[in-house]
Structure 1
Amino acid sequence: MSNPVYGKKASQSRKGGNLSAAVWVLLVGLILFLVWSPFQAGLFNGLVLNFEKPILWAVLIGSLLMIVGVCSYFKTMKLEDQRDWTAALVLLIPITYMLALISAASQYFAINAVLIQCLYAFMFVIALYLLQNKQANATIETSIITVAYIIVMFGLFNWLGQGRTVSAIVGWFTPTVIDGQYNQAIWIDANGPRLASVFQYPNTYAAFLMAFLFVAIFAITRSKRWWVQAIHAFMLVPMALSILLTLSRGGLVFLPVVFVILLLFLKPAKQLLWILYCIIAGLGTLLIAKPVTDLGQQFHNGQINDPAKGWLYVLAASVIIAVVACLIQRFVAPSLERATDKWAAKKLGNLWLPVGSVVAVAIIAALFLGTNLKHVLPGNIGERLENINLQQHSVLERFTFYKDAVKVLKDYPVIGAGGGSWASIYEKYQNNPYTSRQAHSFIMQYLVEVGILGFIIMLGFLCFIFYKYIRGYIRSEEQNRDSYFIYFIIVFSILIHSLMDFNMSYVFIGMLVFIGLGGMAAAMDTHSATRVKVKASAWRGVYSTVLVLGSIVLIFMSIRYIQANNAIVKGQTLMSSSNDYQEIKAPLDDALKKRSGHPNAVLSMSTLLQAGYEQTTDETFYNEEYNLLTNALHKEPFDKNMYAKLITLYKLKGETDKAYGVLKDNADRYAWDMSWYEELIAQSFELGYQALGEQNIALKDKYFHNGVSAYQHVVDGVEHLKTLPEGQMQGNPFEVTQTMALNAGKMQFMLGQPEAAAQILKAGIKEDLTEPTNQEIARWYLAALQQSGQNDQAVYDQLIQIDPSLKEQIDQLATLNFK
């Protein structure tokens, strides 16, 4: 066997040597890209228009880098070994997202996902070829670690109240700085302030920190230079402290799991050093955690704090750990190497410490969770630890997301519902009225997006790279192993945490993972991947053409979509500052021309046209808005906001039956939207009552039965929510409102079902019978009872006491026959 970088048969061009000018351009470009990306809110693939533009810029930059990469490695791209095959197979991943466009729940999100997956594939290919060179590998590795450390320090500056200072430094190249402050670097929720740094989401930041905490420990044990050891050791406390400040239970749970598994890849001496560094980093962090946490909470709760004091704690602990680490590496590490030589030579000798670590982790967890030791931690961190269990609401909610994802998969089993589909489609499948635009699991979200076919391709790709990397790692000497192990740590840590969170929805995190996979693939052996001989020049021509043409297409698409984004923002700004219809419409027209069906452009244009129709009743406005919305809904069939616009448009023209049709036909898509059902029930009564006035009894019964059925759906939903596990929150409000009860009760009454009407109306009566709606419910309730030969004397007496004239109204209602 030969190793691609270290083996005797490795080609010099892949092993090392001077870098060409083109490769230097690629290398510098990739480094600048990695520095820029995280400060764009981690390039979050979310719903806000501001999130879209940085991602499009990332796709544009990545495509340009891919063209430079093809120019740099054209002669190296041969279909000769397994590395070249992985460079080809990675393209299957964006292809599965292209296939998913066929059944996409949202064309907008699905196209964005195709662009992002192409970017990931480009990052993999670039890394695969670039990192085979020792010099390039060392440069990229150092750059990634440096960016990570900058992100860590940036987060702590924000925690200690100096966010405006560091935001001013990055504000010139990121739109995420708003009013001089990086947006949501500190997350505020029911648990208080939580550190999120550039990601605006503490749990993803915890996954990132976990990965680079282990990278730092590995870098300490690998380096031979004391100052390099000191730098990495210095960052241990800031990273461990930051993990605590995220208040991420998932981070705290997965950290020991990842740690134990990583130990399996190390020989006993290194295992002991890793354990030792985790212990001293943990102790150093615990000593300063409480005062630093308190200082940050004081600032973010509006109190005066002393950031210098907080930095004194952090810097003092970090310097001490750095000095201790240097001493350990200088004096202890060599002794450990000698002392564990025989141990390392024994079969399965590297399993002893990982197994012991599992026991130690269990004991430590029991102490923190079951004793007063948790009081060593700041109060909110201790509380979060105390609440770690399978019955905790966030765990139960995640399990619900996963069950709902399976429902989606059953309807879209083969090629999925398209990229980003969960955000569009989840309301149709949800078990209870939660709001979650993410499935909180990379696996489940991936299955929803590209189905079983896409998932098998991705899983096969990952398994192949992991298998080849681990196999080569086992067979290599220690020095050779160390060259790419950092990439394995990053990829493994993030993917493990992503089992129960949406880290991969951050494009920067996805880029890190695919660059890491490229680094792992670069360490593969050079065995031939096939016995079929393929002419190198033919392969180069086809493969490089595909990459270049794909890059060019993405460049033009990105530029066009960026222009559309700019036009939408301009149009929305003008809507709040200008009264000139044509001036406002021009940029929105331009946006729709460049990207038809863009939800933000459609909704903004709809608002403008609707205002024009309201003011002039000109049919031109109506027809243009109607065509705009109906065409857009073919691409975005689950967009609730577009349906709401269409309903309003129908009502403006008096086409209430069409508005009702939209409400009824889409009710199953928004099964837990209380306001949707309230309006559906109200419109069922109004249209049924109108049909009654026209003596169309059959139509009246049809509307009323539909309305009563919608009401029963709400009642059944309320009963279902009572069956949720005790620790699980139901999410958004979902209940029978007084308006629902009144309209449903009236419909049952007019259907000749007074007993059923009385039962519904009684549930809607509140204490204060002076309130008009409550009073009306009581009137219909008493009339229904009277018609069915019953009475409720207490309610009757209370109502008549308030207004004696209501007695006559009740008697009149009781005598009516609506059949």
Structure 2
Amino acid sequence: MSNPVYGKKTATSRNGEKLPAALWVLLIGLIVFLVWAPFQAGLFNGLVLNFEKPMFGAVLIGSLLMLVWVVAFFKRIKLDEERDWTAVWVLLIPITYVLALISAASHYFAMNMVLIQCLYAILFIIGLYLLQDRKANSVIETTIITVAYLIVMFGLLNWLGQGKTASALIGWFSSTVINGQYNQPIWIDANGPRLASVFQYPNTYAAFLMAFFFVAVFAITRSKKWYSQAIHAFMLIPMVLSILLTLSRGGLIFLPVVFVILLLFLKPAKQILWILYSLIAGVATIAIAKPVTDLGQQFHLGQIGAPAKGWGYILGVSALVAVVAWLIQRFVAPKLEQITERWSAKKLANLWLPLVSVVAVVILAVLLLGTNLKHVLPGNIGQRLENINMQQHSLLERLTFYKDAVKVLKDYPVVGAGGGAWANIYEKYQNNPYQSRQAHSFIMQYLVEVGILGIIVLVAFLAYVFYKYIRGYVHADESKRNDYFVYFIVVLSILIHSLMDFNMSYVFIGMLVFLGLGGMAATMESKPVKRLAVKSSGIRPIYSAVMVIGSLILLFVSTRYIQASGAVEKGKTLMTTSSNFQEIQSQFVEALKKRADQPDAVLNYNVLLRAGYEQTKDESFYEQDLKLLTDAIQKDPFNKNMYNQLIALYELKGEPEKAYEVLKDNAHRYVYDQNWYEKLIVQSFELGYQALGKGATDQKDKYFRSGLDAYQHVVNGVEHLKTLPKGQMQGGAFAVTPTMALNAGKMQYMMNQPAEAAAILKQGLGPDLNDSANREIARWYLAALQKSGGSDQALYDQLIQLDPSEKESIDNLTMLNF
């Protein structure tokens, strides 16, 4: 291997020699993988079932690459230096996810995350060894940058209304192109259209753009060839423009933070160039931002757009910036080196401009947030900036997520609640009825998933890699520093942004980060580790065998999971096109053989079996369906869809008591689910009323008490929601509904508490007495008032005038004794 690394004790080099065949296979495979991966919906982490197959496909490809790695590096595997043991250390990360299976909230999602973390470990190990070679490093770095630029142009094609053209270019290998259109490259929400490109989430795209904007600036200042400088400079405008089009406030906030940190690693001449290129890119982008933004908004809001005009702005200004950058690198950069040579030699010289930049950023932020300067930006972008404050709802919501994550951690402190736990478990711990399957913080979500043990392993690993990289960087000459700085930029940018968002939930982003960490670790000064040193002749076959066996297991598991997903998809298609029960059933049975806890297979098979029972009343269908759901719930005890299907099955069978038990026993898992509590209250009343009719007073009291407890839970929740900070949105609906009030009021009345019943019924009373449900509430309310010695004459007169027979109904209710 070549000697590109910083330290004195490094791997040997084959600089200038041809790469061995196995290394070529590994290198080409990794290139293809990096090109394929981002166009599979950003490879989401499996919390969305539609993205399962590409995710498992990524694990399968990673497993094959690891087998090639063993062949390529078999003779060089040894465990006597720090770098080698770092490759072992990274395996502790997926092991913590395996341990989290013990207490996993969902075995299904937890297993998905085990596979993903194994993929990350594989990419780190491959990067650690492969990128020590200068030639391989150059090829992979070029591939990553090229893919990033393609993603940027793909996003802008979609923004300017050429989505079908862009999708046609990738449709032959992307599973995310549906009916000729990539799925959701543009978000449309309350803020208008927002650019998301391949990630389907604008904030993650902003983090990605931020990282590669800095990569492009670095590449301009590093490149010696004019055309390379021009290409990277050309891409500055599309990337800055795309950041603005994401409307990501987090991206705009973290961009200067990362910029200042990166400046600390540059000598003064390079710092000046970075600042200069950033200013040029910013000013040039602002000059065209409004017309390009307007053109995209017109198209995505259903109006006729003019893509040629938009591309004219983008390409023209980008070409101009490319020329300017070439001139700066040709004539200005060398003089800057000369002028700042003495400055650079001074102690802490690289701190001065970063400090000045901090002051400049603060001043610019004040001007943008507090003056009319923000109006130079397109309207919706300016409005987003205007809304940045400590009481802004998205910040308050994130803080709520983090507090709720701490609640989860208290219940699952050591090994966590398993991979994907937040998506399954957050409703039990939520402070208000928000809907978020992500905790919007990589660190907080990681804590939820693998607990204190897992976070210690991860943070220690990251800290060690960063420490070794920075230490080597400080002591290296500039030519060696430049070889691996791209990886540092990508990893630092994404991880910092991920402190307040879920970028790492995208497998492609995680792949970039761990491959980048591998690149950083490849520079490591690799000292001998005497205490852990093992003779390579003895450990090599054992270590290789472990990696091969692990890869084969991953290969086998990911293949079965892909087959399970394929069978589910085929079964769902057959449900709409075929009436052959056995044909449809066979697909779901096959899926569950491959993966017993596949929730999509369970839920769709349940629909099929329940339909069979409804049509034939054959008990075997009922028994099959009941076993299917109860077995699945044991492995996925927070799956609300499965509970709802089980409730529906019990109701279909005429077993309301069992449906009630499911509602009551699991209400604590869904503390702000209004529909769940409404069903529980209604079911409690109906069962209590039936018990009352049978004279079973104890049973009546049991049902009524649980119904009234559920009602009180809702009342308490509504009161709590009134205490939310002014800027924070409540989230979903959560209130005392008329149905809740009616049934709770009836239960209180039938427990001989008419005054309390009247107070409850009044909350559900609406003004329209023509509505039968509202009239029933009024009837019970007036009866409760009369029985408790009160009255509401105006309401009584209005009701009797509408229907004189209501007088007798109220009197009959008043005379009832329970």
> TM-score normalised to the size of structure 2?
0.99
Mark the runs of 5 or more structure 1 residues left unpaired by the alignment.
none
User: Separation in 2 of the partners of 1:16 and 1:99?
Assistant: 45
| Match of residue 676 from structure 1 | 676
| Match of residue 509 from structure 1 | 509
Cα 1:66/1:760, change in 2 over 3 Å: same
| Match of residue 187 from structure 1 | 187
1:504-529 CA-to-partner distances (Å, cap 9, x unmatched) read 00000000000000000000012113
Q: Is the 8 A contact 1:4 1:526 kept in 2?
A: no
Amino acid at match of 2:5: V
| Match of residue 261 from structure 1 | 261
What are the within-5 Å matches in structure 2 for residues 673-712 of structure 1? 673-712=673-712
What are the within-5 Å matches in structure 2 for residues 647-666 of structure 1? 647-666=647-666
User: Separation in 1 of the partners of 2:10 and 2:570?
Assistant: 55
Amino acid at match of 1:522: A
1:540-585 CA-to-partner distances (Å, cap 9, x unmatched) read 2222111111110111111111111010011111111211111110
3-state SS of paired residue (2:727): coil
User: Separation in 1 of the partners of 2:6 and 2:254?
Assistant: 33
| Match of residue 325 from structure 2 | 325
User: Separation in 1 of the partners of 2:17 and 2:480?
Assistant: 17
1:316-348 CA-to-partner distances (Å, cap 9, x unmatched) read 110110000001011111111111111111111
What are the within-5 Å matches in structure 2 for residues 429-578 of structure 1? 429-578=429-578
| Match of residue 755 from structure 2 | 755
Q: Is the 8 A contact 2:7 2:526 kept in 1?
A: no
User: Separation in 2 of the partners of 1:47 and 1:737?
Assistant: 32
Displaced runs of 4 or more, over 2 A = 2-18, 46-49, 529-533
3-state SS of paired residue (1:187): strand
Cα 1:600/1:369, change in 2 over 3 Å: same
Q: Is the 8 A contact 1:4 1:15 kept in 2?
A: no
Amino acid at match of 1:66: M
Q: Is the 8 A contact 1:3 1:526 kept in 2?
A: no
What are the within-5 Å matches in structure 2 for residues 234-633 of structure 1? 234-633=234-633
Q: Is the 8 A contact 1:88 1:543 kept in 2?
A: no
Cα 1:119/1:532, change in 2 over 3 Å: closer
User: Separation in 1 of the partners of 2:776 and 2:103?
Assistant: 48
Please report how far the alpha carbon of residue 11 of structure 1 lies from its aligned counterpart in structure 2 after TM superposition. Answer: 4.4
1:630-687 CA-to-partner distances (Å, cap 9, x unmatched) read 1111100000111111111111111111110000000000111100000000000000
Amino acid at match of 1:600: D
Amino acid at match of 1:237: I
| Match of residue 101 from structure 2 | 101
1:25-61 CA-to-partner distances (Å, cap 9, x unmatched) read 1101100000000000110114332200000000000
User: Separation in 1 of the partners of 2:17 and 2:447?
Assistant: 43
Identity fraction in percent? 72
3-state SS of paired residue (1:43): coil
Amino acid at match of 2:269: A
| Match of residue 48 from structure 2 | 48
Q: How many residues align?
A: 817
Q: Is the 8 A contact 2:3 2:132 kept in 1?
A: no
1:481-526 CA-to-partner distances (Å, cap 9, x unmatched) read 1110000000000000000000000000000000000000000012
Q: Is the 8 A contact 2:7 2:523 kept in 1?
A: no
Amino acid at match of 1:624: Q
RMSD: 1.1
| Match of residue 799 from structure 1 | 799
User: Separation in 1 of the partners of 2:672 and 2:542?
Assistant: 51
User: Separation in 2 of the partners of 1:630 and 1:136?
Assistant: 52
3-state SS of paired residue (1:483): helix
Cα 1:10/1:97, change in 2 over 3 Å: closer
1:755-785 CA-to-partner distances (Å, cap 9, x unmatched) read 0000000111101111100000000000001
Please report how far the alpha carbon of residue 530 of structure 1 lies from its aligned counterpart in structure 2 after TM superposition. Answer: 3.1
Cα 1:191/1:533, change in 2 over 3 Å: closer
| Match of residue 166 from structure 2 | 166
Amino acid at match of 1:344: S
Q: Is the 8 A contact 1:16 1:134 kept in 2?
A: no
User: Separation in 1 of the partners of 2:161 and 2:378?
Assistant: 18
User: Separation in 1 of the partners of 2:359 and 2:792?
Assistant: 67
User: Separation in 1 of the partners of 2:354 and 2:698?
Assistant: 74
User: Separation in 1 of the partners of 2:80 and 2:97?
Assistant: 28
User: Separation in 2 of the partners of 1:203 and 1:586?
Assistant: 42
User: Separation in 2 of the partners of 1:355 and 1:259?
Assistant: 12
User: Separation in 2 of the partners of 1:520 and 1:229?
Assistant: 24
User: Separation in 1 of the partners of 2:7 and 2:259?
Assistant: 30
Amino acid at match of 1:366: V
Amino acid at match of 1:514: F
User: Separation in 1 of the partners of 2:155 and 2:606?
Assistant: 41
Cα 1:106/1:14, change in 2 over 3 Å: farther
User: Separation in 2 of the partners of 1:10 and 1:647?
Assistant: 63
1:790 aligns with 2:790: yes
Q: Is the 8 A contact 2:158 2:197 kept in 1?
A: yes
Amino acid at match of 1:265: F
Q: Is the 8 A contact 1:231 1:322 kept in 2?
A: yes
1:696-736 CA-to-partner distances (Å, cap 9, x unmatched) read 01110111111111011111111111110111111111111
User: Separation in 1 of the partners of 2:710 and 2:490?
Assistant: 50
Please report how far the alpha carbon of residue 367 of structure 1 lies from its aligned counterpart in structure 2 after TM superposition. Answer: 1.0
Cα 1:7/1:808, change in 2 over 3 Å: closer
Mark the runs of 5 or more structure 2 residues left unpaired by the alignment.
none
3-state SS of paired residue (1:666): helix
Cα 1:276/1:807, change in 2 over 3 Å: same
Please report how far the alpha carbon of residue 4 of structure 1 lies from its aligned counterpart in structure 2 after TM superposition. Answer: 6.1
3-state SS of paired residue (1:576): helix
1:80-109 CA-to-partner distances (Å, cap 9, x unmatched) read 211101101100000000000010000000
Amino acid at match of 1:790: G
| Match of residue 723 from structure 1 | 723
User: Separation in 2 of the partners of 1:73 and 1:497?
Assistant: 35
Q: Is the 8 A contact 2:413 2:451 kept in 1?
A: yes
3-state SS of paired residue (2:389): coil
Q: Could you tell which deviates more after superposition, 21-30 or 534-543?
A: 534-543
User: Separation in 1 of the partners of 2:74 and 2:389?
Assistant: 53
User: Separation in 2 of the partners of 1:111 and 1:758?
Assistant: 52
Q: Is the 8 A contact 1:4 1:525 kept in 2?
A: no
Q: Is the 8 A contact 1:392 1:728 kept in 2?
A: yes
| Match of residue 208 from structure 1 | 208
1:401-453 CA-to-partner distances (Å, cap 9, x unmatched) read 00000000000000000000111111100000011000000000000000000
3-state SS of paired residue (1:193): strand
User: Separation in 2 of the partners of 1:61 and 1:651?
Assistant: 46
User: Separation in 2 of the partners of 1:456 and 1:16?
Assistant: 41
What are the within-5 Å matches in structure 2 for residues 115-126 of structure 1? 115-126=115-126
Cα 1:676/1:757, change in 2 over 3 Å: same
Please report how far the alpha carbon of residue 533 of structure 1 lies from its aligned counterpart in structure 2 after TM superposition. Answer: 3.6
User: Separation in 2 of the partners of 1:679 and 1:243?
Assistant: 45
Q: Is the 8 A contact 1:6 1:15 kept in 2?
A: no
> TM-score normalised to the size of structure 1?
0.99
| Match of residue 732 from structure 2 | 732
Amino acid at match of 1:307: P
